[in-house]
A and B are shown apart, each in its own frame.
Chain A
Amino acid sequence: MNKMQPTNTEYLGTTRELMNRQQLTHQRRPGMTASLLAVGVLLVGLGVSSPALAQEAEGFVTGTLPAPAPAEQVEAGKRVYFTKCVWCHGVNGSGDGPGADRLWPRPRNFNAGTFKIRHTASGELPLIDVDLLQTVTHGLPGSAMPSWEGILNEQQRKDVLAFVTTELVQDRSWQDEEFEELHILELEKLSGAAVPPSAESIKRGSELVVENKCIECHGLEGRGDGNAFNLKDDWGFSIQPADWHKCWNFRGSRQDAYNVKNIFRTFSTGINGTPMPSFADNTSIEDRWHIANYVQSLCERDKDVDIAGGQVTDEIAAELLAAKPRGIDPLTDKPKVNFVIPSKFAEGELPKDEHDPRWYDERWEKEGRRIVAIGGQITHKPRNFVNRIDDIWVQSMYNETHVTMMFRWDDRTKSIQEDEVDWDPYEVNLADYGIVEQEPGGSQFDDDTTHPDSIAAKQTSYQVFNDGLAFQMPIKFQELPAPRKPRYFWGDEGFPVDIAKWTADGNLMAYEGTGWDQDLEDRDDFTEQLTLDKAEWKDGRWTVIISRPLKADYEADTYIELGKYIPINFFVWDGHNGDVGRKMGVSAFYYLVLEPPIPSEAKWYAGLAAVGLVIVEGWILTRRSNRRKEQGAS
């Protein structure tokens, strides 16, 4: 194998050296890395070690290395691997299969034996029949690795792991008793004595994530917006800190997104091959539960709790505790999607910012803000294979004259275009200006992730464009012959759409769209009627509030009526991902519905039905008692 090796294998000496190296990883802090490295090298060089380093971290027990897999099992696993896995993970298991270059996160390179989600201590090999089996069974959400349960039976899943761990993990071995040790987190036992979620625990957790400097990478509110765009994994590929508000995307969520155990495990063992260290050595088990409780409480719930930049007070902690988890769809392992976006009536002025209490009143309790799932635009060139924004949250209100929509979505980077671009904002065919899609796999620089033309280098050096958001609604939808709609992608011939597009440089523009490859048509008259009430990026999240008149010009605009299903779909751009023009995220068709007030007849009819039933009851009882009398008489 002449593939690039991760740096950690170079250190592999004695177990004690391994422990030293882990200690270094644990304590890596900006500015301290160099000096710690020097001390580490010195310790290793002199053969000196402090006894504390070799000690078991709290909550771990020493395990035994597994026996080698039988040759027949490895052979059976090979059959599985070359049918199902080779397409992404590659013939040699180097994570360079045909699909690899268009995936982010990239498929795992097995060669170094570096695996992310484990019960074993930082830097160690995973447990094959626990960790790796769970990964194959449940998949790795937030990546392209699916759950193989129901496709491969358990024996087949174990077989393929036998093949991968025997043949494809090349730099380390589970049978290497000289260099390998397993220290296993006793998760089940520790969960028995877990600190239950409480307001105090959540508040304590919020303080601990600051003390442990979690927020340096994960951001003040945990949206992964710390030093977000510059992190790399052991192979030099771009990697981003987890967004704590999307627990269903945690790689280690094991199809059980809101389970606090998964967070406790990842925090205790770290994520090998990434900058995420293990905190087992410097936090007590109790503190780890507090942190896990806090992180879990941030995952999106029915209520959008403002955590004030991580300054969690008793009230905020209590609110976080009280909010209920979102329903997770077992088909997608993501929050359930509802394609109807309700707009509720607001008295007087429409809300101008996200703190307006009317966004949170009791009318939203039953069906709150809607999640809009976003996929990459992959219909027309240039396609976007990596969409870093995978959902937006939408809420809407209206009054007699206007409708407003609040969009909130997590974006780790605030991107505002700084360089001049050659095209005009209404232009859509940007191929002439060099906006192209990612080439398919087999890049000649796959081996050298530092080469400027390698995919690893490209992942972190996009030209930065504006973040953006747009939505489209059909013009004159009342006249559409059902179920005809304008095409989801900026309309089509004869079925134009009305597009409102906001970009992070502060522009909010109205366009008319007549097709995916047709330049948008500026509509200055309607642009004036659109209002940008708010556009703010804070702690890894955009809040954009746009309002527009219900009824503008019928001939050229969507004419919004109460109680009608108005097709609407959404587009979103992440400027740091190189998104511009057609390179963007898109949604399916949703429906915006302005909910009319409750009709007064409802009460009358309900009363009528009740009275009717009373009469029927009276009739039945009379009939029955008459019959009894007859029976009694005869």
Chain B
Amino acid sequence: MTWLKLVEGYMPMQMITELAVCILFFSICNYLLKKAGIGVPKFWAGILVWCFVNLFYLKYRIYPPIPFSVRAIYGTVSACGIFMWVSGSQEEWLEFKRPIINVLDGNNFFTKSIRTVLLLLLPIGLGAFAYNSLLPSFEEPIELRTVHPAPPATTKVHGKTYVLQTAQQPYRIDTDGKYDPAYSNAHIVDQSMGRLMKDVNSAEDNPWDPNAKGYIKHVREGGEIFFQNCHFCHGDNLNGRGLWAFAFNPIPANFTDAGTIAQLQETFVFWRVAKGGIGLPGEGFPWASVMPPWEQHLTVDEIWKVIMFEYWHTGYYPRTWD
């Protein structure tokens, strides 16, 4: 389904809305059919809704695919919901189980033949299923890694020791050169759709303005470093979808996701950037990450600037102690 895209960040809302619209549609159809005197028996309606949600919607509509174990949970929950619906009153429950009883009894030729077919097919199906599940299958083993491990108290970069609790971003300064997080936070991109700069004609908002100085000028310098070094993996929109993002595993961090830099302190990011994948503690799987230890490629100033660019471009503030 390429014509209707799930939009990043809005996916849960989209899913719930779509499912609600579908259920509403089913209800209306059901009502209209009933009015027309060709109502669908509850037995079949329940099976239809369950199949639609679990075998079609959750399986094919959602991407990346939901693991089978999670779909099994949804399947159970939705089956419970449908049972509650069909067993609202004694008559409804009897109506629901009538087709099953009819087949079990096999009173006429039609139900008798269905019963015979089912009696034969069910054991064969179960046998085939058992055989298939006993075949050796080799899925990729699941290994859980900690994405944001606990940081150390200090980190030593280019011969200088930084205390993560007290170190400060040296370029978060206003036009007078004073440290001013409130000023810089006021000039990040507009967080609304598309994350665009606030005013392209203002030297305080546009990093490319020839008169840009202080914070916004350093944002541009950080951006230049980002687009010479980082975008190959973290992507042109900082969403972790660069050219080579999917050749690597773990995949690169998505900075536009509220769960990455928006949740972290700037000094934590500084430690992660400077030390890279190889500097992760064991629970972060340092052996698998291709994230470079940037101290091998960039100066301390360049690292601070590129971090500031990441916050500017995504429109997030770093977390602070207060």
Contacts and interface: CB of A to CB of B under 8 A. Distances in A.
Interface of A: 75, 78-80, 82-84, 86-88, 91, 97-99, 101-102, 144-146, 148-153, 156, 255-256, 329-332, 334, 337-340, 342, 373-376, 378-381, 383, 385, 387, 390, 440-441, 482-488, 492, 495, 563, 565, 586-589, 591, 593, 595-596, 598-599, 601-603, 605-611, 613-614, 617, 620-621, 624, 628
Contacts of A609: 123, 126-127, 129-130
A362 to B, nearest CB: 15
A146 B224 contact: no
A613 B8 CA distance: 46
B196 interface: yes
A589 B249 contact: yes
A210 B233 CA distance: 39
Given A80-B196, A602-B131, A487 B286 contact: yes
Nearest 10 A-B pairs (CB), nearest first?
A: A375-B244, A99-B227, A610-B127, A375-B247, A98-B224, A606-B131, A373-B247, A588-B249, A440-B228, A602-B134
A102 B228 contact: yes
A149 B5 contact: yes
B73 interface: no
B124 interface: yes
Contacts of B197: 79, 82-83
B305 to A, nearest CB: 12
B224 A334 contact: no
Chain B, interface residues (CB within 8 Å), range: 35 or more
B111 interface: no
B172 to A, nearest CB: 20
A410 to B, nearest CB: 16
A605 B130 contact: yes
Nearest to A97: B227
B92 interface: no
Contacts of B243: 144, 375
B248 A330 contact: no
Contact of B141 (A84, A586, A591, A621): A591
A587 B288 CA distance: 10
Given A99-B227, A487-B286, A606-B128, A331 B246 contact: yes
A617 B119 CA distance: 7
Contact of A379 (B8, B199, B242, B277): B277
A563 B136 contact: yes
Grouping DSSP codes into helix (H, G, I), strand (E, B) and loop, the B interface class, with mixed when no group exceeds half, is: loop
Contacts of B145: 483
Contact of A330 (B2, B7, B139): B2
B237 interface: yes
Contact of B292 (A378, A563, A593): A378
B193 A153 contact: yes
Interface string B161-201: 00000000000000000000000000001000111110110
Contacts of A331: 63-64, 241, 246
B322 interface: no
A378 B229 CA distance: 9
A620 B276 CA distance: 63
B130 A483 contact: no
B207 to A, nearest CB: 8
A81 to B, nearest CB: 8
Contact of B136 (A97, A330, A385, A598): A598
Given A87-B227, A146-B237, A153-B194, A380 B296 contact: yes
Contacts of B131: 602-603, 605-606
Contacts of A565: 138, 141
Nearest to B7: A150
B224 A628 contact: no
B40 interface: no
Contacts of B124: 610
B278 A374 contact: no
A547 to B, nearest CB: 21
B307 interface: no
Contacts of B91: none
Contact of A144 (B127, B194, B231): B231
Contacts of A485: 287-288
Interface string B196-235: 1101100000111000000000000001101111011101
A151 B246 contact: no
A98 B228 contact: yes
Contacts of A595: 136, 138
B143 A599 contact: no
A483 B282 CA distance: 9
A379 B290 contact: yes
A331 B247 CA distance: 12
A97 B220 CA distance: 12
A144 B228 CA distance: 12
A146 B236 contact: yes
A152 B208 CA distance: 20
A159 to B, nearest CB: 10
B98 to A, nearest CB: 14
Contacts of B241: 146, 331
25 contacts: A83-B189, A83-B196, A84-B237, A87-B224, A98-B224, A145-B236, A146-B235, A146-B236, A146-B241, A148-B237, A150-B5, A337-B246, A375-B243, A378-B290, A441-B224, A482-B143, A485-B288, A492-B287, A565-B138, A586-B247, A589-B249, A591-B140, A591-B141, A609-B130, A611-B123
B7 to A, nearest CB: 5
A565 B137 CA distance: 12
Given A78-B200, A373-B246, 11 more contacts: A79-B200, A98-B228, A144-B231, A152-B194, A375-B248, A483-B145, A486-B287, A565-B138, A591-B138, A611-B123, A621-B104
A599 B135 CA distance: 7
Contacts of A587: 247
B297 interface: yes
Given A87-B227, A609-B127, A80 B140 contact: no
Contacts of B285: 483
B126 A150 contact: no
Given A83-B195, A486-B287, A606-B127, A378 B239 contact: no
Nearest to B226: A87
A441 B138 CA distance: 45
A606 B64 CA distance: 33
Contacts of A102: 228
A334 B119 CA distance: 45
Interface in B7-44: 7-8
Contacts of B7: 150
B247 A598 contact: no
B303 interface: no
B122 interface: yes
B228 A488 contact: no
Contacts of B119: 617
